Structure 1
Amino acid sequence: MTKTILKASILALITAGALSAPAQAEIGKHTFKVSNGAAQDHPVSAGVDAMSACLEAGSDGKMKLRGFYNGQLGDDAEATQSVRSGSIDMVVTGAAAIGGIEPGMSAFELPFMFASDAEVDAVMTGPYFDRLAAKMPEHDLIMLSIWENGFRNATNAKRAINTVEDFKGLNFRVMQNPIFLDTFRRLGANPVPMAFGEVFTALETGAVDGQENPLPLIQATKFYEVQKYLTLTRHAYSPTPVLMSKKVWDGLNAEEQALVQSCATEARGAQVAKSRAVTTEALEELQTEGMEVSELSPAEMDKLRALVAPVYEASMETVGKDNFDALMAELKKVRGN
């Protein structure tokens, strides 16, 4: 064999080997826009910052997040639809905003579903999360994690709430959600559905008397400027799913997808820790700002739970009995019964 033929043969073998070897995917440059309805000093920003730092560290600075707060890219419902269409990359939204899209998310809105932070953590990172995440692609969404808004409490400008009867006649802003509407109707209040971005002005003008949200959000949004009374009801828990557009997700390679997923999961720890740390701080600041804080006695809380208990049965069509049963089965395991 001549040297020329030998060289040609070797080159052919090298070329054939290169073509048959699997291509090594590289991480590209991505800055994902993330929408959220809360103010930037709300604990959700701790999750966005932690996830962005994780992405940058894992991609040599090629991937990161850019947060948009105060509903700059639309309220929760609008931003979620934009994520579904692919015009926004990600949203950290309230579960209620996607309950109409995926009924299994509505189970979180049932009153007094969770009794402790430990129960919350077990469910938000356990089989029920996996169940929900598996359903999201059919809605053009990828659920990366579930972060935290926290337990919800009631505020109003009219009077202190010390008994269940004190709810009667008060106009409460609630999310556009059948479970929340039903819950406050059964308390004797007048629920008024309204987008979050409109709430402060409605409270300021007296269009509504009160609202209900977690303490850090009440503090960050400065509702204390237009609300006098805070009642620590902890009547519902408010999670914040972290959702990415399926169109955007599908445009990432496997290495990029793995990094996005792992960073969203890792960031949950930072976000939840911040949320719980500022809850106590928020309560203290709300009192410093002049809010009067009250709690219902155990007997009154029992009355409250009894009044809203029918919401569970009435909500089965919204939630889906299979979803409700799956969540309750998981909670029973967590509670050891």
Structure 2
Amino acid sequence: MRKFAKLLCTAAAVSLLPLSAAMAQISERTIKFAFLNQMDHPQGLGAQKFAELIKQKSGGKHTVKLFAGGALGGDLQTVSALQGGTVEVTVLNAGLLASQVKEFAAMDIPFLFNNSKEAFAVMDSDFAKRLLNRLQDKNLVGLSYWDLGFRNMTNSKRPVTKLEDISGLKLRVLQLPVYIDLFNTLGANAVPMPFTELYAAMETKAVDGQDNPVTLIHNSKFYEVQKYLTLTRHTYNPQVLMVSKKFWDKLSAQEKKVFESAAAEATAYQRQVSLEREASSLEALKKAGMQVNELSPAELARIRERIKPVVAKATQNIGDAMLSEMNAAIAKVRGAK
């Protein structure tokens, strides 16, 4: 019996050796994760899940500190902080990375995807992964794509039910050429502005409105300063979860596996939460008093026709090779239905 017990102890010790060796490669680390939305937004919920998974998979050796609501600055400031190594992790709209890798502008082409399922499949394709790999030359390491949803338009002046209703509205837009061109072409006065300044600008009537996914509109309480919501679903916003390359290069092979595994699990969770919150947020906005309008197929067709020059300009800047890859990925997903 003693011999058998000894054998069991020996076997257990041997089985633990690989695990012990792996854990020995993991150092004590405190990691700053900065992002723009609040903790109860799907972005914040995804960040919390990522932090939990990192702690769990590192055996408690890695602690992720979350800085929500732009506490460490706007998205572009945070990108600079990652490149400098003063912040380790962030998640932000993929299109904002066009200033680093111009092909990321492809993600902001209007009416690119028909639905979230289609968008997720393309974001998980080899095309999208190759795009992430290009960030390394800019001292950034892309891990995966999260979901912000489809953008819709709000304003405080009037219902928008047809193309002409957009004319003259002063709308805050992302600080990207395609958004400026899009809304100016539709007859609005596009005002590029950081998100952190948006609520105050709407409250003081410096701008009449903006465009964002309904979950963000609800979570940021835009219904307090905006009366009208139009479900245009004009642009899909994938978000890139990424880390500082300066930080990444300090990690052991095992620590990198921890981050990659946590990113994969957190991405699946975040996307599901985002889809669920989109439906509940729309109902909440209606209850909060927002007037919600949907554009007819005929009006959407008019908008698509009007913005053809915007799409042509955006695709020209991306380059033929990348555009072909993206279109092939979309065609593959649609053909798989």
2:233 partner SS: strand
Report the alpha carbon displacement of residue 25 of structure 1 after superposing the two structures with TM.
Answer: 5.0
Taking the aligned partners of 1:31 and 1:269, their CA distance within structure 2 comes to 24
Q: What percent of counterpart residues are identical?
A: 39
Q: Confirm or deny: 8 A CA contact 2:23 2:58 kept in the other structure.
A: no
Q: Secondary structure at the match of 2:158?
A: coil
- Give the aligned partner of residue 88 of structure 2: 89
Task: Check whether the contact 1:25–1:255 (CA below 8 A) recurs between aligned residues.
Answer: no
Tell me which residue corresponds to 1:139. 138
**Deviation of 1:321 (Å):** 2.5
| Gap runs ≥5 in structure 1 | 1-21
**1:90, 1:37 → 2: CA distance?**
12
Q: Deviation of residue 131 (structure 1)? A: 1.0
CA distances 1:255-308 after superposition (whole Å, capped 9, x unpaired): 001110111111001101111101011001111111000011110011011111
Q: How does 1:25-64 map to 2 (within 5 A)?
A: 25-64=24-63
Match of 2:260 in 1: 261
- 22-31 or 140-149, larger mean C-alpha shift: 22-31
Aligned to 1:124: 123
User: Is the counterpart of residue 227 in structure 1 residue 226 in structure 2?
Assistant: yes
* Alignment-mate amino acid for residue 284 of structure 2: E
Inter-CA distance 24–228: structure 2 relative to 1 (3 Å threshold): closer
In structure 1, distance between residues paired with 2:84 and 2:317: 24
- TM-score normalised over the length of structure 1: 0.91
Listed as ranges, the matches of 1:154-303 within 5 Å are 154-303=153-302
Offset, 1:317: 4.3
Q: CA RMSD in A?
A: 1.5
The SS at the match of 2:93 is: coil
Residues 287, 293 of structure 1: 8 Å contact kept: yes
Which consecutive segments of 4 or more residues in structure 1 shift more than 3 A?
22-25
SS at match of 1:243: strand
290-299 vs 321-330, which moves further: 321-330
Residue segments in structure 2 that go unaligned for 5+ positions in a row: 1-20
> 1:36 touches 1:71 (CA, 8 Å); kept in 2?
yes
Aligned length: 316
Question: Cα gap change, 1:24/1:259 in structure 2, threshold over 3 Å: closer, same or farther?
Answer: closer
C-alpha contact 1:103 1:320 (8 A) present in aligned 2: no
The CA deviation string for residues 207-245 of structure 1, in whole angstroms up to 9 with x for no partner, is 100100001110111000000000000000011101100
Q: Does the aligned pair in 1 maintain the 2:109–2:235 contact within 8 Å?
A: yes
> What is the distance in 2 between the residues matched to 1:320 and 1:210?
32
Structure-2 separation of matches of 1:335 and 1:251: 41
Please report the TM-score for the alignment, with normalisation by the length of structure 2.
Answer: 0.91
Task: Measure the CA separation in 1 of the matches of 2:83 and 2:321.
Answer: 25
SS at match of 1:73: coil
> C-alpha offsets along residues 8-65 of structure 1, whole Å, 9 cap, x if unaligned?
xxxxxxxxxxxxxx99852111221111111221101221121122112212111132
